[in-house]
Structures are given as structure tokens and as C-alpha cells.
Amino acid sequence: MGLPLYLPPMTRAVAKPPEGTIAPFAELSVDFMGSYPDPATRLEPELPELAFIGRSNVGKSSLLNALTGRKGLARVSATPGKTQAMNVFRLPGFYLIDLPGYGFAKASKVNRAAYRRLVEGYLTRRETLAGVVWLLDSRHDPSKDDLVFQELLATSGRPVLAVLTKADKLTRREQAGRPAAIAAALGVPDDQVQLVSAETGLGIADLGESILTAIRGEPE
């Protein structure tokens, strides 16, 4: 691997309500719009988009469920045939885009090419994309797949927030130390990473606020 790649930061916000298990988007309408294999698909109406991506099994579905307070919301993304498509959820004023998880080692060559076409096409050319929530497992240093993906992210020039999942599996001491260690491994500032747990709700309210801030396009 070369030098860490620059990722423009997505604004990180702090939620007003205290941390808790209350889903920040629970009161908002959430409609599944469909699964689209073509990254150029136009959505009607045109709204800003916030994309979620990470390695398979990183906890993406659980996180989307925790944000929206809907159990099984993102289950569709794991069904066969839907793994090479972007799954689109409409909320009031924006779309959440669930991009398929990466895990380049296991995929066949054909699948890898299709995956790259979708995700690279989406990240580099999507005009309505306001920010990327990049999921990493808080327990581990970034994997080879994560670092390969980071190159693609950096090339895209999109605002990124690195979200570290499964924080409930860390000790308190690790919760204090892991974010900075992962930020250093990625070569990003400490405030570009956010620790979360879909299990306990840690960091979920703040993540919800960061997403709304990115969608509104407000300056920091």
C-alpha cells in the first residue's frame, strides 16, 4: 500500500438529544424505491443522496435498521440477485443508498467487474451524491479490501465519514482508543471517524445528525 489517500471529510455533527437507542429517523417516512444495477439510474424526484458502503458483514443492514427504527428494512440487499445493485430508500427530502458490500477476495472475476462498474460508476459520476458513510469494523485495523476501496473513494473526491461498527464488542478502554488508531491507519483526522453500535445505539443519534447536515449541505 502507498501513502494514505486524502478523503474530503463529510461534516460530522453532534445530535442534540442524548445518546440512546432511539432511532433518529424513526419518525420519518421510509420507502423502499427499488434495486438498481445501473449506477446512472435517475430517481424521481431528484433528491440528494447519502450512500452507505463497507465490507460484507460489517453491519450495514443493522446500522440502516438502527437509524430508521425499522427491523428488516435493509434485508432485501442480502437476497440473491440484489447483491450487485444499489438499493434505494426514500426519506423526506433525501435518499439513502445502500450499496452492495465489498469483499473482493471471494468474488469471481465476472462479479468483481460488475461490482466495480456499479460502485465506481456510482461514486465517481453520481451528481446527486452528497456524502458517503463508509463502514469499517471497529475491532479490526482496515483490511486489504478496505484499503483497496479507500483508493476508489479518494479518487471519487466525495465527502466521507468513516463509521466504525460493532462498538459494543469493544471494552471501554478500546472504545476510547480504537477510533484514533483506525483514523491513523486510514490517514484521516480523528474527527472523520465515528464509533457506532447498532446493538446499544451508541453514536447512532450523532450519525443521524451528520447525515442530515450532509444532506442540507450546510457548512461546518
Binding site for ligand GDP (CB under 6 A): 56-62, 101, 165-166, 168-169, 197-199
Closer by beta carbon to ligand GDP, 61 or else 156: 61
Q: Find all residues with CB under 8 Å of 124, minimum gap 6, and list them.
A: 155, 156
Segments in the chain forming alpha helices (H) = 60-68, 109-125, 144-156, 172-186, 204-216
Helix (H) or strand (E) holding 123: helix 109-125
Angle at 71 between CA 41 and CA 161, to 5 degrees: 55
Closer by beta carbon to ligand GDP, 60 or else 158: 60
Closer by beta carbon to ligand GDP, 60 or else 126: 60
Q: How far is the CB of 204 from ligand GDP (least distance, A)?
A: 9
Residue 22: all three cell numbers together: 432511539
Q: Which residue has the cell 494514505?
A: 4
Q: How far is the CB of 135 from ligand GDP (least distance, A)?
A: 7
Q: How far is the CB of 194 from ligand GDP (least distance, A)?
A: 13
Q: How far is the CB of 65 from ligand GDP (least distance, A)?
A: 8
Q: Which of 99, 95, 91 is nearest to 35 (CA)?
A: 99
Q: Which residue has the cell 444499489?
A: 86
DSSP code, position 98: E
Closer by beta carbon to ligand GDP, 59 or else 159: 59
Closer by beta carbon to ligand GDP, 11 or else 137: 137
Q: How far is the CB of 78 from ligand GDP (least distance, A)?
A: 6
